[in-house]
């Protein structure tokens, strides 16, 4: 398995990276053409307030927990919210898939994609719609559910759609990796495209002590743009087969076998260690990895061989493997919640002010 996380952080010149560097050059030309084309094109507007939550790098900034937190806040404020997602990894048949109508979940993770399905599970009362055409998804939400507060999940590069608030998430620990474009680096587009953002949220800022989250170089790049500090915090350990859950203190002293197929699988391992778990075996997989029955059998066999207390994975990975593991009493997953460090009230005051100015939301 290619260790993309390591490659995307490595700033050294290596001959073995030359093919990747050539591919990055080709990619950069394509990005430049696309950006110019999309910036010159008139954008489509949805009938309501549209907020985009996205990033400028490939994975790892925790968009899904942040989108869930903002959706829960907006729903609690009385806004008629809908999540609009591309549905990465989903095997959609229709142009638009209603994953959740706010009451029932209508599409599983294989059809919807793991992240939209996770959001549908977490957000009762909030429709979740997937489509490559986010404008069409928004119109569907508006017509079918009366939605007028639209959250574009992973929407920073979706330039065809006008937004009233563009939120960019950056990893505070390593915001741009090695500073190179895909595939040699993690950047989806040049770092200078931060200029499109209305506000920036630095995630994992808690690992840097909050106030130390911004380097001088990053401060210069962000200029006068509002910046908010956030962190992704371990929340609950869920055992689905027996319908029980525990707080994270439950992990202290537990002997576990773990696996993760997320953008930075090592971050999951580190989280377990910080909560006091003893990891007997850890297996990383690529982001959005489609788990097979054989892979699951190997990991459950490893749990038995090691005499581990249980097998544990991420919530997102459970969405893709739960169909196979759902009857195993010794399988669990860890949920993550997003919260701000400090300026939480200031953030939502900014959102309210943007909603007021847009005059496009009907309560």
DSSP conformational letter for 181? B
Asked if 139 contacts 82 with a C-beta cutoff of 8 angstroms, the reply is: no
Asked if 167 contacts 68 with a C-beta cutoff of 8 angstroms, the reply is: no
CA distance 198 to 338: 20
b/e sequence 267-289, b meaning 16+ C-beta within 10 Å: bbbebbeebebebbebbbbebbb
Q: Which domains does the chain have, with CATH numbers?
A: 49-232+339-358 (3.40.50.300), 233-338 (3.40.50)
CA distances from 157 to 39, 64, 86, 205, 247 (A): 11, 16, 11, 24, 36
pLDDT (tens, 9 = 90+) of the chain, 363 residues, equals 788 888 999 999 899 999 999 999 999 999 999 999 988 888 999 999 999 999 999 977 889 999 999 999 999 999 999 999 998 877 777 899 999 999 999 999 989 999 999 999 999 999 999 999 999 999 999 999 999 999 999 999 999 999 999 999 999 888 999 999 999 999 999 999 999 999 999 998 887 765 556 667 777 778 888 999 999 999 999 999 999 999 999 999 999 999 999 988 999 999 999 999 999 999 999 888 999 999 999 999 999 999 999 999 999 999 989 888 888 999 999 999 999 998 789 999 999 999 999 877 766
């Amino acid at each position: 398995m290619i260790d993309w996380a390591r490659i995307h952080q490595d700033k050294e010149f290596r001959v073995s990276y030359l093919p990747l560097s050539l591919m990055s050059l080709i990619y950069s030309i394509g990005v430049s053409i696309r950006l110019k084309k999309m910036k010159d094109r008139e954008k489509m507007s949805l009938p309501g307030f549209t907020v985009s939550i996205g990033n400028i790098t490939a994975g790892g900034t925790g968009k899904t927990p942040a989108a869930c937190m903002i959706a829960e806040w907006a729903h609690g404020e009385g806004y008629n919210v809908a999540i609009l997602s591309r549905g990465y990894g989903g095997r959609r048949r229709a142009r638009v898939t209603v994953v959740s109508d706010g009451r029932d979940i209508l599409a599983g993770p294989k059809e919807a994609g793991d992240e939209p399905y996770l959001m549908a599970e977490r957000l009762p009362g909030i429709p979740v719609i997937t489509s490559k055409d986010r404008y069409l998804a928004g119109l569907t939400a508006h017509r079918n559910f009366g939605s007028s507060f639209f959250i574009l999940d992973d929407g920073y590069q979706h330039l065809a759609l006008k937004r009233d608030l563009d939120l960019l998430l950056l990893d505070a620990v390593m915001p741009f990796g090695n500073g190179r474009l895909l595939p040699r680096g993690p950047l989806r587009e040049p770092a200078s495209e931060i200029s499109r953002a209305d506000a920036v949220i630095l995630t994992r800022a808690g690992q840097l002590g909050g106030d130390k989250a911004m380097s001088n170089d990053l401060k210069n790049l962000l200029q006068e743009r509002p910046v908010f500090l956030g962190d992704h915090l371990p929340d609950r350990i869920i055992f689905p087969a027996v319908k029980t859950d525990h707080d994270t203190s439950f992990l202290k002293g537990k002997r576990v076998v773990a696996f993760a197929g997320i953008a930075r699988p090592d971050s999951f391992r580190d989280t377990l260690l910080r909560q006091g778990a003893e990891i007997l075996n850890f297996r990383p997989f690529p982001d959005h990895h489609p788990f097979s029955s054989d892979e699951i059998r190997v990991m459950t066999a490893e749990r038995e061989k090691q005499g581990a207390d249980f097998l544990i994975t991420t919530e997102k990975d459970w969405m893709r493997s739960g169909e196979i593991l759902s009857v195993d009493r010794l399988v669990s997953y860890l949920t993550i919640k997003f919260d701000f460090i400090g300026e939480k009230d200031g953030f939502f005051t900014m959102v309210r002010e943007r909603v007021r100015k847009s005059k496009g939301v009907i309560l």
